[in-house]
Each structure stands twice: as structure tokens, then as C-alpha cells.
Structure 1
Amino acid sequence: MKVKMILRRGILKTIRAAGNEDMESVFMMGYDAWGDKLAVQDYLNVCNESSKYKNGVWYVLVDTETNKLLSSLIVYTLKPSKGLVIKGIGSISTPPELRGKGYASILIKETIKELEEKEHCNLIFLYSDIDHIFYNKLNFKAIPTSKQKYKNSVCMYYSSTLEIETISYEVPAYF
């Protein structure tokens, strides 16, 4: 995704690929949820060494005036299936003090738009570790219960053109 400018509530925001200089802040956005009671430096070491985090492309929403990171996510390219271009979105997070302001929603919506327009993506998966109603508001739907792989995380999908029941697909492992 190239740099994209968005005006929201009179404040200019930018969506761009995260750089190496952003990664500590990106990882710390999710520390309260995924830190597993590790010391901060241990948590950052785990994140920096994660092959999972190296296999995707990180994006950030930035306040253009202050250069503050407002939200982040990672996009994975998943195995195609019968003409489908499939992506996964994961590690969606916002700094705790900025949650509830719509920043993650902006980043998700714009990322989906970009994936559909530029990469012809027609199926996007994510795993919800939070109340999945948040993602329902962004038009994600839970895959059928019979295909869910995990007890504490709901696999969801987004497609503007397909209903999950009408296609053959492989449920991705948690990413």
C-alpha cells in the first residue's frame, strides 16, 4: 500500500507501511493484550524474533500533525484457493489510551479497500480475540461454528462479493 492520506474530524491522517523505526511502538500497542505478563524488553524481543511477524506487511495509521502512531495491523498473503485471492489481517491494535476513537476501524476499512482495488483480493480472514461485534460492524462475519479451530478466538471473514457457504476454502491457522 502506498501512502494514503485521510481527513477525519478535521485531522489529516496517513496510512503507510510501518518502518523498522515504528516496530517497538507497534508491538507495544498490543502489550496489554498479548504480553503474557512478560517484562517489556522480553516481550519486545519475542516480537522482534517472531517469524510470524516477519511473514506479513505491517501498516500504521499516523496522525500527520504529530507523527503519532494511532493504530496498526499486519497483512498476510494466504494460500489461494480456486481463483480466490486470500489475505489475512492480524495483530490489529491501538494504544490503550487511544482506543474507542475509531482509529482501528479506519485502518481496517482502508486496508480492505486497498486490498480489493490493488490486489484484487476477494476474501479476507481474521481471528478475533476481542468481542467479535467490533468486526461485525466492519462487515466481517464468523465462519460456521463447525469450521472454527479455536475455543478462544473466532475466525471471521470479509468479502464484498462472496458468501462463505458458497465457496470451497481452507480455514487458515491462527496467524
Structure 2
Amino acid sequence: MSWTLYRHYKGNHYLRLGVAAHSEDLSPQVVYRCLYDNPAARTWVRPQPMFEGVIEDGRPRFTPVGRLRLVQPEDLRTVLAFGYDAWKHDKTFDQYCADKDQDPNHLLGTRYLLEDAAGKPVSALNVLRFRESLIGFASVATSPDQRGKGYASLLLRAVMELHRFAQPDVRFMLFSEVKPAIYERHGFHVLSAEHQRFPKSLAMATGDALLSAAEADFLKAYF
């Protein structure tokens, strides 16, 4: 299963969800999700010929910039290499991979991989579904030679919008080892001191409401 990410000629990014049929003439309609804040209209529909066509100056209206897909078993060493420099703890790469094979936290969840327009794997993350409306993100990492290009943010937002399309009221949580501002751009905020357990990893969540008791319990069991 995979989804293509596009950049509109005006600069915004979108996730193509699929193609639907018009209810009257059955003409193909591309269904796509905006990857930026637009509460009034997150899901859009456009005739497929227009979506895949060009504008007046000959430029494509939408340009593919990457592909989001599920991680397969043969991808795991590639994905683990993305975060090896940060999480190796003096282990060789082979030792690091072997330890992950025995780590129950590593074996949980659904991993997503972002490939660039040329098909090169560039960034990955793990999705932990605690319950229908509560998801945790873990192991967000980008290939060392591709950092600083915005791939992790693009991946994160694409996965968020993919799940919001299926479950509009879903809430996301994570532990941030980078500057909070990176995640604040996507609607996360730093949780209160009572939810902070790791000095170097800030607990963050989306949504304005305080964590419920059940959500707080899931957070405690996160790692």
C-alpha cells in the first residue's frame, strides 16, 4: 500500500488518497488531502485530468515529490540506519539491529517510510495505535545524508493526515528529542510537568484538551 505526495505549483503539499467516481457521470476524481493547516477544507476533490494536467505556462499543476508506503521486512535495516547515529549507545550496527529484533517496543506498531521522487528511502516513523482515537509516534528518523530538507516534517504530516482522514478526532502523542518548535508547527504542544518523565525527551500531544486519565496511562506505558 502506498500514497503519492505532490507539491502544487503554488507551493503547498498534498497527499493523494486515491481516485473516486463522480456520482452522475462516473468521471474519475482525484481525492487528496492538504498537508498544511486548513481546517475549513482538509480533503479535496478534483477531476483527474485537471489534477494530472498542466497550467497555462506549461508547468504541471501537481508535481510528485515522494511516496509514502508501509515498511516491509526487507526495509528494516535501512530504516534502522536512519537513527543509528543517535541511538546506537556504543553498539556496532549489527549489534544495534540484533538488539532491535529482541526489543518488544521495536516490534510493536506500523512503520511508514517516505521515499523521495527518485524512489530513495529518506525518512521513517513508527505508529503505535493505543486505541481508536489515540496514536503515538516513535522512532522518527531521517537518513543522515538527507537531513535538513524537511523530509521528516513532510512524512509526519502525511501520516497524520492519512489517519485524520479515517478518524477525524484522532489525537497524536510523541516524545520529542528535538526542538519542540519542529512539532509545534504540526499542532503539537508540550504537556504539563506531571507528564514529563525524560529530561531529554519532551512529552507532546495534539489537541487543546488536557490528557484524560486513560490517555495519561497510555503515555506512561509509551516506552
- The TM-score bracket by the shorter chain reads 0.7 to 0.9
1:53 Cα shift? 1.5
* 1:138 to 2:186 alignment: yes
1:12 Cα shift? 3.1
1:7 maps to what in 2? 6
Instruction: Give 5+ residue unaligned stretches, structure 2.
Output: 12-62
1:71 Cα shift? 0.3
* 1:158 to 2:206 alignment: yes
TM-score w.r.t. structure 2 length?
A: 0.69
Deviations 1:75-106 (A, max 9, x none): 0011x4xxx71010110000111111010011
Residues 81 and 143, structure 2, Cα contact 8 Å, conserved in 1: yes
* Greater relative contact order (Cα < 8 A, sep 6+): 1
Instruction: Give 5+ residue unaligned stretches, structure 1.
Output: none
1:5 Cα shift? 0.2
Aligned equivalents of 2:143, 2:211: Cα separation in 1: 38
Superposed counterparts of 1:122-137, under 5 Å: 122-137=170-185
1:103 maps to what in 2? 151
Deviations 1:44-89 (A, max 9, x none): 1112222112110000001242x211100000011x4xxx710101
Pick the aligned partner of 1:25 from 78, 99, 108.
78
TM-score w.r.t. structure 1 length?
A: 0.86
Q: 1:146 to 1:166 in 2, by over 3 A?
A: closer
Superposed counterparts of 1:67-86, under 5 Å: 67-78=119-130, 80=131, 85-86=133-134
1:170 maps to what in 2? 216
Residues 6 and 14, structure 1, Cα contact 8 Å, conserved in 2: yes
Aligned equivalents of 2:209, 2:150: Cα separation in 1: 27
Aligned equivalents of 2:71, 2:211: Cα separation in 1: 36
Residues 115 and 121, structure 1, Cα contact 8 Å, conserved in 2: no
RMSD: 1.9
Residues 4 and 64, structure 2, Cα contact 8 Å, conserved in 1: no
How many residues align? The count is 166
Aligned equivalents of 1:166, 1:23: Cα separation in 2: 33
